[in-house]
Structure 1
């Protein structure tokens, strides 16, 4: 049985097996319709080796842009530089690990000195003289990592960040400060060098990608901030910029979070319609309640099997044009927003409460 037959078998069962089959097929539909596909990655999936899957999808043109946690970028760079990451066990005395200089991510072990401290030195060296002249986005930040790792690291072929640099796939880190990536900028600030993240330009770029796409979809691994950062493009376009866009055409979510607790990670995709995050509450969406390490390899292999390869959209090189297009569209219909009177914003009177 091949992957296509396996997915077909899943889709003819029930419960989350059926959802997995339908999610894989929807991924294939996104590809066949040439949708602009965003991959969101929560948690720390690269230490368990998923960077190889992300890299393959990038190289085949099946993922066009990425929103991730900083952990996935930071730990992915270990593989490019050949730094030790090993399988361990979740039943262990963490006091002993600490004494031996080993950090743990569930059942993955990473050397404190041989890996983390070496990686910190690499990161500090990368940004000692980069991105200092003006503000930057986290996509520009990750592009620097991909550029330098491609040129200097002994194993750039092991890094999805290096592949993203090669194929102009923007990689956004939705909470850059909440990771070792940002921690390593602290030594430069203490020496008088300032790095300034332009988070407003970042959210506008992300909305501009969606605005400039004929069709747009998201594959969400987990929830958290990456999920919201991708989905909030709809409310930015409609609620704030008043573009009447409607949100994403497709969303696939793989999560183990419950919807009844009220958290964003478990919020149903249908709920997102009320915010304008998705075009239709009745179709184009599938949620798989599963561990992403189980479900995503099946979905990805199916996408590669039916999707083959696509022309790379190279969004990173086109971000400036997409941003300008969104800006022009915003100012083309002044009646849709709290408009301009000369050079002065007329925001109207304060609303009565």
Structure 2
């Protein structure tokens, strides 16, 4: 058992390279020494337990607790919060007024106000902003809101399901999507060739089959324009370009807007979508170019690597959420060239954290994986429906933030990957 004497006894495994042990002021420090970092493991003798997996200087918040006794000095555990004074609803309220109203209340209304504040900070600090799209946002027309955010320079890159890209194109080509009903007999709808997404109806022949032919045609005919080693962003870029040139209503598609402003759109689970399904005939016929999804991993990591500050607005969870967040571990754990992860994270979700799924995992939990820089600030989860909250956040940002110049990441991503590759090999040579 560890004591407070000058020569405590520790029951620890043998310390071998690349570790070294130091003892000072009742603290045993085991340092892991690598070219790209020094990692500290510490045990306080009087408590005989591990305190933190990093140096004291890195985290004043936790030190505050350990040096001053529990939670006594943490304002979260005192009756010192802002007084709740019932706010007033007025007939002339703007969206910023409504967000301010929410900020003076509680529950998820207050979380939404926090999300708006974080989004504003992301934009105003020049951070590289990623939008992640899970679920089915585009079939209900949310693509136009995304387009407005791209136009203002508030979205720099996108990670989406292939479904959100596929259904977005319906509006560009004028293919019918209509409001339906959620309480129906789906056997009847199937017989009538009507596909249902909750309370949205899409016609099998007039919309889906027509869209399928367009996707297949555009990818096949533009195979010479698509790089031979293509990421899914290259596929999305080609589809956006085709819609820009050929669609009746290109202004109704966020994919077209992304093409115009060189905003890369990644579909890391492209095989699990109608975009991937429509590449199946091309594969069998030996036509077209097929994406390298590991190149998606490299390009997304390079985006974080080149960003002074970075953050994301996550609509739902799933593959888009994790693909965006794993850029931190890709750089730090795998390539060992940059530590930190994201500076800001906002998620809108209805998923629970207690089932172990990534969709419901708290953003703070991501700190333990190196996905965010700190779990203490700059992140918030708003529990609810993205279709309700996302337009409010867009309207708020467009109201209070000045437009930014687009970063045009699509035009730079290949160069960034090559630069990252050089750093990776240079670091490897030093370690070897």
Residue 98 of structure 1: aligned partner? 190
> Contact 1:211–1:245 at 8 Å: present in 2 too?
no
Task: Give the structure 1 partner of residue 265 of structure 2.
Answer: 171
Q: Does 1:302 align with 2:396?
A: yes
| 2:151 corresponding residue in structure 1 | 59
Structure 1 SS opposite 2:341: coil
Q: Which runs of 5+ in 2 are unaligned?
A: 1-92
Give the Cα separation in 1 of the matches to 2:161 and 2:187.
27
The CA deviation at 1:228 is: 0.2
Where does residue 256 of structure 2 map in the other structure? 162
Deviations 1:131-165 (A, max 9, x none): 37723110000000000000001110000000000
- Return the alpha-carbon distance in structure 2 between the equivalents of residues 237 and 284 of structure 1: 21
Equivalent of 2:387 in 266, 286, 293: 293
Aligned match of 1:31: 123
Cα distance change of structure 1 residues 235 and 301 upon mapping to structure 2, 3 Å threshold: same
Q: Give the alignment of 1:135-154 within 5 angstroms.
A: 135-154=229-248
Cα distance, 1:218–1:336 mapped onto 2, change above 3 Å: farther
1:215 aligns with 2:309: yes
- Residue 320 (structure 2) aligned to one of 218, 221, 226: 226
1:250 to 322, 327, 344: 344
Whether contact under 8 Å (2:235, 2:291) holds in the other structure is no
Residue 219 of structure 2 is aligned to residue 121 of structure 1: no
Q: How far apart, in 1, do the equivalents of 2:144 and 2:107 lie?
A: 29
Return the alpha-carbon distance in structure 2 between the equivalents of residues 44 and 328 of structure 1. Answer: 39
Higher Rg:
2
User: Could you tell me which of 108, 115, 121 is aligned with 1:16?
Assistant: 108
What is the aligned-residue RMSD (CA, Å)? 1.3
Deviation by residue 1:280-317 (Cα, 9 ceiling, x = unmatched): 11011011011111111111111111113100000000
The yes-or-no answer on 1:3 pairing with 2:99 is no
Say which SS state the counterpart of residue 56 (structure 1) adopts. helix
Task: State the distance in 2 between where 1:271 and 1:335 align.
Answer: 33
2:136 is matched with which residue?
A: 44
Which of 234, 251, 273 is matched with 2:367 structurally? 273
Structure 2 distance, partners of 1:300, 1:155, is 22
TM-score using structure 2 length: 0.76
SS at match of 2:126: coil
Q: Secondary structure at the match of 2:220?
A: coil
Q: How many pairs does the alignment contain?
A: 338
Structure 1 runs not aligned, ≥5 long: 340-353
Q: Is the 1:64–1:313 contact (alpha carbons within 8 Å) kept by the matching residues of 2?
A: yes
Structure showing the higher helix proportion among its residues:
1
Q: Determine the C-alpha separation between the residues in 1 that align with 2:137 and 2:161.
A: 10
